[in-house]
Amino acid sequence: MSSGFGTRAVHAAQRPDPTTGAVIPPLSLSTTYKQSAAGEHTGFEYSRSGNPNRNNFEEAIANLEGAKFGLAFASGSATTATIVNSLESGSHLISVNDVYGGTYRYFTKVAANLKITTSFVDLSDPANIEKHFKPNTKLVWLETPTNPTLRVIDIKAIADRAHAHGAKLVVDNTFMSPYFQNPIAWGADIVIHSVTKYINGHSDVVMGVAVTSDEEWYKKLQFMQNSLGAVPSAFDCFMARRGLMTLEVRMQRHAENAQAVAEYLQSNEHIEEVIYPGLPSHPNHELAKKQQSGFGGMISFRVKGNLDNVNKLLSNLQHITLAESLGGVESLVEVPAIMTHGAVSPEDRAALGITDTLVRISIGIENKEDLIADLEQALAKAY
């Protein structure tokens, strides 16, 4: 029987405990599992290789992304590292240029030491990618919307070009979550998330995940997952699976609030530009409507003036917290040029438009009227 997203978010892989009948599968903290004979076990032998709570989460998130397989990791960064470390030394990858600062740091400071090179390309126009393919290009790496300038990239157009050159497409779907976007349906081969963000949703778990329907890549990543050992704890998997249960209702509220806040900011005299895919003024608004089922909870905007005005704004906010990360029930604000994207070179930040006056907000699930009032009073005090 086919089921809606909310139903699957609650019930996928949730099997009552056969011993007690507990509706929520219990937390399994054991590091090892009894074997009936040497090499004969119930599917679990050592928790780095597999854990009931991890398997539960992996199966559920794969279901929600429309994939066959899921693999959980200790963080989003560990997910990225595991995928890239599975490539042969000397490989090349193409990344969207407006990428999360931690991913940029890994590609340029760590993967480069493994002789894995990266070309950073503006993929707003998919045709831009063509001249960057090389015989050793193995992966194309995409975020959409991008972080932090919220450009929306055409997943299918990039997937078609990657596949034509024998490369696989990885899409970081953190900003949208499986509720608003399913990149595999548009041709992506691997989809990743920082589970820390919307999937867990409560700013109390650090974790990552990759999903795929490509069995060859699944087996390769499963081997790397076990070999590198960057796996999440059973407790974190338990918490993230619990977070999945409310993903639909949270994402609906995030998007509703973000739309209202974006429209307010667009009307404020102290704001130079508002970047939100849900606004008709966004250059990729029509593409966002095509490949997303909603516009998410992330807004970036440019404050008029300088960093002093930005700091005054941030210091006067009461409901919105100055902190890195995103996707929690609480609203968070940050300055990418100084915080999350500090690892990106000043030259590259300037080229991407990541200026000192660019502010990024992760809109939470508070009352939208309170968020707007908070921004209004803080902006008034910033000038």
Please indicate, yes or no, whether residues 311 and 373 belong to a single structural domain of this protein: yes
What confidence category does residue 91 fall into, taking pLDDT thresholds of 50, 70 and 90? very high
Spatial distance between the Cα atoms of 78 and 237, rounded to a whole number of angstroms: 15
Spatial distance between the Cα atoms of 192 and 199, rounded to a whole number of angstroms: 11
Per-residue pLDDT tens over the stretch 269-296: 999 999 999 999 999 999 999 999 999 9
List the domain range (segments joined by +) for residue 107.
5-245
Q: Give me the pLDDT at residue 1, please.
A: 63
Q: What amino acid occupies position 242?
A: R
**Which among 205, 223, 245 is the end of a domain?**
245
Q: For the domain that residue 29 is a member of, what is the CATH number?
A: 3.40.640.10
**Which among 197, 227, 245 is the end of a domain?**
245
Please indicate, yes or no, whether residues 120 and 28 belong to a single structural domain of this protein: yes
Whether 138 sits among the annotated catalytic residues: the reply is no
What confidence category does residue 342 fall into, taking pLDDT thresholds of 50, 70 and 90? confident
Q: Which of 197, 302, 360, 368 is catalytic?
A: 197
Whether 104 sits among the annotated catalytic residues: the reply is no
Whether 356 sits among the annotated catalytic residues: the reply is no
Is residue 346 helix, strand or coil? helix
pLDDT at 338 over 90: yes
Per-residue pLDDT tens over the stretch 8-55: 999 999 988 888 999 999 999 999 999 999 988 888 999 999 999 999
Instruction: Give, for 120, the enclosing helix (H) or strand (E).
Output: strand 117-121
Q: Which of 98, 154, 172, 189 is catalytic?
A: 172
Q: Give me the pLDDT at residue 4, please.
A: 97
Whether 151 sits among the annotated catalytic residues: the reply is no
170 close to 302: Cβ distance less than 8 angstroms: no
Q: Which of 100, 104, 179, 276 is catalytic?
A: 100
Range from 79-83, 99-103, 161-165, 328-332 carrying the lowest mean pLDDT:
99-103
Please indicate, yes or no, whether residues 263 and 201 belong to a single structural domain of this protein: no
**Which among 245, 263, 297 is the end of a domain?**
245
Alpha carbons within 13 A on the beta-carbon side of 113: 5
Instruction: Work out the average pLDDT over 126-144.
Output: 98
Instruction: Work out the average pLDDT over 308-331.
Output: 97
Please indicate, yes or no, whether residues 95 and 186 belong to a single structural domain of this protein: yes
Q: Which of 33, 48, 134, 156 is catalytic?
A: 48
